[in-house]
Structure 1
């Protein structure tokens, strides 16, 4: 069986300026909830890691020193 691949090179995109502006504004607004979700997932991940390792930087016996 022959392995045929079609390569495509995009040279130009014909899109009116204001349509592109509206598209980019929608894209930016859609990124806000996505970043909130990513932040919450990262916070949960690091909270679990902190709980597992128990705050290893606080092993000085409460004196504030190592």
Structure 2
């Protein structure tokens, strides 16, 4: 009854995972659907970041003036 519980970390090495093919296909489809909201959030964050960068550096590149003169003059 007086067994000591060992809280030491044990290392485990996984050498093989056996999973039926169609179960893996279903898992990957679920994974794709789960990643869609993450991609939407990341694209909104990147859009906000680019908006801030262009707003801060737009006057340096004269982006506002390009619209008044008919576009860039390369």
TM-score under structure 2 normalisation?
A: 0.63
Q: Give the SS at the match of 1:26.
A: helix
> Quick check: which has more Rg, 1 or 2?
2
- Distance 1:28-1:42 versus aligned 2 partners, 3 A rule: same
Where does structure 1 lack aligned partners over 5 or more consecutive residues? Answer: none
Q: Which residue matches 2:56?
A: 52
Distance in 2 between the 1:23 and 1:56 partners?
Answer: 49
The answer to whether residue 16 in structure 2 is matched with residue 35 in structure 1 is no
Q: Give aligned pairs, total.
A: 62
SS in 1 for 2:43: helix
CA distance in 1, matches of 2:31, 2:24: 10
Secondary structure of 1:54 counterpart:
helix
* Corresponding residue of 1:8: 12
TM-score, with structure 1 as normaliser: 0.68
Report the secondary structure of 2:14's partner residue: coil
